[in-house]
Structure 1
Amino acid sequence: MSFRRDPLGPLDREAVREGDHVPSAIPVPGSPEAGDGIDGRLFHQDVHRFRDGSRVPGWRESYDPAKDPAVVPDPATTPVPEDLRAEIEAFMARYPDHRSAAIPALAAAQRVHGWCSPEAIEQVACVMRLTPAYLTAVVGFYDMLEARPVGRKTVYVCTNISCSLRGGDELLDALRTELADDPDVNIRGFECLGACDIAPMCSVDGTYVGPVEDAEIPTLADDIRRGADPLPAKQLVRRRVADVAANSDDVQRAAVDAGTIGPVLPPDGPPVGDLR
């Protein structure tokens, strides 16, 4: 497919909107008729098209015109784990419109099943009294909801501008190489994790880690593989912040006592965060 730039200027288009006459045959800039000496290739470009049109490949995978329209699953024939049912109902109770709970409900089902499988979507649809198609559309839009089987250990590496400039793409490639033999790890680049101050960084099962140095990548990969606490000294939750009150001994001690944050034990030297 190709396209041609509009030969009308802004004032000409405004004149057309106001009803003024504009010649119907306007030579395209760069064409022989125009005689303006402009390289016509500037106004004629090939536009890549996917096989199915302008949409991305795979957009029709779930479409089957031979199937009957999906209906709300019957609770009598759709078994749902009680813990999952209770969690979904708790989410629904938080919103005036229960459909607003679709994202957290699907995330809860994903934690149970490992991904938003047809069975998981069916269970959520049953509890929320929605059609599976409604929820499938939600899964297809939000990229933290997985539409295919993936590893249960989720690693997102930020590859947006701040992290990319500081080695985010190289961090992603290196972790993929280190963890290539572990099918239980779901690792992929992420557009932005909102932690530019610790670039390059990544999220390991929701724990933000960074900045990750090249020498720390093998250790981080080993932590991920073993399910250990990833690079404790580099975790965002343990960084001091500008709010002095948030860094007070009382706040830190309360966090340690509550188990929210534990003391960091570096390979050498005294524990970081040990407030005794």
Structure 2
Amino acid sequence: MKFYSRREVSKILFTGGAAMSAFPHLAFNKNEKMIERKIPSSSKTLPIVGLGTWQSFDAGADVELREQLATVLKEMHNKGGQVIDSSPMYGSSEEVVGDLTSKLDFQESFFYATKVWTTGRKAGMEQINSSMQRMGRKSMDLLQIHNLVDWRTHLSTLKNMKESGSITYWGITHYSDSAHSKLAEIIKKEKPDFAQFNFSMAERRAEQFLLKTAQDNGTAVIINRPFAGGSLFRSVKGKELPTWAKELDIYSWAQFFLKYILGNEAVTCAIPGTSKPHHVIDNMGAGFGRLPNEKERKKMLVTLSNL
């Protein structure tokens, strides 16, 4: 099976017509809907692929980049993605998300998530209010404690905000394997609506206990670092996809990596970050078609390790 680099994906997108038949996952059936999973603490569901904004949406006053990011949001929406995850830690990302989405007719179709990343109750509330303003939100779908910074202080703040209706859900986050035990401890005791943490084919510690802990305690899971900071793409550079990947509706390495994650039913949504329209289309493709079962996921791991 031919491997398509992300540069080739871009060329195919802009060539259109017959070229699209060579890359079928880009030509989504408009009647097909992205797979969704339930948020355990409510009756609502979320599409299983969303968008992270770390670095990618830190556009500042760059007009050209902002136009490109607006296209990313439009393509994400066209393919059924909803979750946009940001943080005050991410430079101008919150402001850029707020500005760009405010100009879209489908602004309210997104699921907005951000974080509190400071110490102290007063500073936390000030930062949360600033994030709401930057993202143009009167209420936030999901507010998370970023990297567990002063989590005990912010915990009561977020619970009170949920009770008052200022936020719909609250959660906790981290990006490192070293925090998994602490995340599991908090999940068991406090039952957050969401937990966000790292998990990929290159960083699999979450499979040891954290994913099951979240599932057993009714906590939705958002996965960050699904490509292990890009190292997974470097490991397969120039390599072809296995011929059987098409059986799982996988047409790129990005989808290979994402579908491995999404094959775990404890995962609610993965949030690969990108600033490029053709990348977001590719990523969203992982939310369609078949997902691998446990036997197939093991086969995917063996295939990757043998490259």
TM-score (norm 1): 0.24
**Higher helix content, 1 or 2:** 2
Higher strand proportion (structure 1 or 2): 2
Larger relative contact order, structure 1 or 2 (CA cutoff 8 Å, min sep 6): 2
* Structure with max Cα Rg: 1
